[in-house]
Amino acid sequence: MSTPKKDIEPEADLVDEDDEATLPEPDEAEPAKVLLEQEAGSLAAGRDAVVAAIKHAPSRPGVYRMIDSRGDVLYVGKAKNIRKRIAAYARPTGLDTRIERMIAATRNLEFVVTRTETEALLLEANLIKRLRPRFNVTLRDDKSFPYILITSDHWAPQLLKHRGARSRPGQYYGPFASVWAVNRTVNVLQRAFLLRSCSDPFFESRTRPCLLYQIKRCSGPCTKEIDYPDYAALVREANAFLSGRSKSVKDQLAAAMEKASTALDFERAAIYRDRLSALSAIQSQQGINPRTVEEADVFAVHQQGGFSCVEVFFFRTGQNWGNRAYFPKADKSLGASEVLSAFLAQFYDDKPAPRVILISHAIDDRALLAEALSTRSGRKVEISLPQRGEKKDLMAHALANAREALGRKLAETSSQQKLLQQLAETFGLPRPPRRIEVYDNSHIQGTNAVGAMIVAGAEGFRKKDYRKFNIRSAELTPGDDFAMMREVLERRFKRLMNEAPRDLVPAPEGEGSDRDALSGEASAIAAPQPPDLPVAGGGDGAELEEQEESPWPDLVLIDGGQGQLNAAREVLEKLGAAVPLVAIAKGPDRDAGRETFFLPGRDSFKLPPRDPVLYFVERLRDEAHRFAVGSHRTRRTKDLRDAGLQEISGIGPTRKRALLHHFGTLKAIERASVPDLMQVEGISAETARRIYEFFHDGAA
């Protein structure tokens, strides 16, 4: 009989939340006994659900999902034989604590049958990334990687950086670890191969070469400074270099330089010399450039203080294309091999795998994962554990980077916890907040009004939780910030109460029962609060205990003064959603460091200019403002595209055509300065100023 999967993250509580709410209150004299009875009852109910599911489980490869009483997916696992795997969970003894915790929360199981175990592995990785079950190892940072693209849908192919779906025809090269690495490489490739980087509309509108041609970053195909055969040759050389044939390309350039020099054509020889120098620079600037590793990804795992760090290095065409550190969510009882096995499957769920994958620890599913990645990519993919030579040196370097990255992460997390503790003391919170929501509005005289919410926690800003709200109310007076805040909060908390309702729980004795959470009194309807995140007393003092994340905020910050606070409080009281509220009013002349804080039931106050809490709150407020203004500008630009440039006073169809013909795109017009705009025929200094102010006027 097969054993259960190990990549499971335990919950802090052994009792399912819904069951916990209906259990009798423990007797004060025997709390431990009653708690054990509750745990045993919940575990028995979970085991009964597993036993019932065994009768319907197929004896075929596939994926199973364990689901709690609220319908949330707890765990996703794959199996060669689903029935045998499920039966292993029904054993009365022999299961470790973390698996018992998962079973205790389980109330239902679902199955998906696949043709092979390889398909099951791929489906499992996809479901884990999409559903993020709390008992799985999950990859928290899954944003797409940047690539270099050489297009093929134009007679003069374009060299550019690309991120996202590969919908445009062309050759893609990567991944690169960061946009910075792509920009650096693109800049050098422009000097080496002189391919254009401008957009097609800009290309078509040119009547003379642009600045890039003058500084020898482009060969000028837009104005026929180079003919088609010669430009096509440059494209072939660039594709060959990025495909790994760098030595061949450099040899050809060296031969051409020698030939031009022999013919006394020193100007052309200098061009080849500069291109060779650029190619040498792109290889020398990559740090480690292995001689025997042409294409590989290197994964090194380091564990410390209950955290895991996976450092990933990318090597393509014999060049180091950067590295990135990941901190997957995993139970601290899991070993490095188990974390790495779960991490790899999710990492390559939406990314092409290289020919070679080097790993720091042996994993159980290595052959199966290699087969799955080979099937998906259509070529053989090898997963190996280097033992000697240059590959072993690369792994040692990656492990060193993993240790340093995890050390920095632990130090930052510990500092953040201390800061959150000070924030709780300043605002009278019962414990350090785990989820802080900050709200702001942005508009220009009431037009294109947008509300924005950002989220922060112990690990910093949580950008995947950011939300924007297009103000919809037709009855709203343009520019009414109070009404905008009411609409945003009403929409946010109505949805939150529908999706994640909080049970009515009596307030603990001595903490009060008033609904004003920030006047030193606890909420009467607040959800049960888990204990504070403890800081370990070990070596680095930064080990944090993972707790189940609640979608409800522990603190809501409003950008505004007493009026915004009153508006927010009215909405939350009407909805019955008691959450701590703080409003932040900017200082005189909008000076940072002189903010005034407004709290329900307390007098307004200011913090000392050098207070760390003040600086922290300012960062939160500024991030909310940045996100709100960016969302507003995006909406305004979209409306502008729909309405046309005629929305600007003094711009009609003729001037609109002249602007687009001169600049090529609306984005180029938005970036243009007043002197640049005045160069367009028919655009006076006053009109140029109006255009510039339309695009650059600060949003409210």
The enclosing domain of 600 has a CATH number of 3.30.420.340
Residues 182 and 327 in one domain: no
Q: Give the residue from 633, 657, 673 where a domain finishes.
A: 633
Domain CATH for 57: 3.40.1440.10
Question: CA-to-CA distance for 383 and 298, rounded, in angstroms?
Answer: 10
pLDDT at 322: 81
Domain CATH for 334: 3.30.420
Is 244 a residue whose pLDDT tops 70?
Answer: no
Q: Give the residue from 593, 612, 633 where a domain finishes.
A: 633
Q: How far is CA 649 from CA 189, 468, 660, 677, in A?
A: 42, 29, 17, 15
Residue 11 confidence class, pLDDT cut points 50, 70, 90: very low
pLDDT at 67: 92
Least confident of 80-89, 252-261, 327-336: 252-261
> pLDDT tens digit string along 446-468?
566 788 899 988 878 888 889 88
Q: Is residue 306 part of a domain?
A: yes
Residues 192 and 160 in one domain: yes
In the chain, % of residues over pLDDT 70:
78
Q: Is residue 507 part of a domain?
A: yes
Q: Is residue 639 part of a domain?
A: no
Residues 180 and 265 in one domain: yes
pLDDT at 637: 65
pLDDT at 555: 92
Among 21-25, 40-44, 490-494, the range of highest mean pLDDT: 490-494
Q: Is residue 179 part of a domain?
A: yes
Residues 455 and 604 in one domain: yes
pLDDT at 278: 64
Residues 88 and 190 in one domain: no
Residue 306 confidence class, pLDDT cut points 50, 70, 90: confident
Q: Residue 122's Cα: distance from chain center in Å?
A: 22
pLDDT at 592: 60
Residue 522 confidence class, pLDDT cut points 50, 70, 90: very low
The conformation of residue 123, written as its DSSP 8-state character, comes to H
Q: Return the beta strands (E) in 187-306 as ranges.
A: 296-304
Question: CA-to-CA distance for 125 and 282, rounded, in angstroms?
Answer: 35
Q: Is residue 606 part of a domain?
A: yes
Is the pTM here over 0.75, yes or no? no
Residue 76 confidence class, pLDDT cut points 50, 70, 90: very high
Q: Is residue 290 part of a domain?
A: no
- Bridge partner residues of 452 (DSSP): 440, 468
CB burial of residue 320 (10 Å; 0-12, 13-18, 19+): buried
pLDDT at 636: 66
Average pLDDT over residues 418-432: 90
Domain CATH for 661: 1.10.150.20
Q: Is residue 543 part of a domain?
A: no
Is 526 a residue whose pLDDT tops 70?
Answer: no
Residues 432 and 395 in one domain: no
Is 331 a residue whose pLDDT tops 60?
Answer: yes
**Across all residues in the chain, what is the average pLDDT?**
77
Using the Cα atoms of residue 595, residue 600, residue 604 and residue 610 in order, give the sign of their dihedral.
negative
> pLDDT tens digit string along 532-551?
333 333 333 333 334 456 78
Question: CA-to-CA distance for 563 and 569, rounded, in angstroms?
Answer: 10
Domain count, the chain: 5
Residues 116 and 220 in one domain: no
> pLDDT tens digit string along 489-502?
988 998 888 887 76
Q: Is residue 52 part of a domain?
A: yes
Domain residues for 593? 428-538+548-633
Residues 602 and 566 in one domain: yes
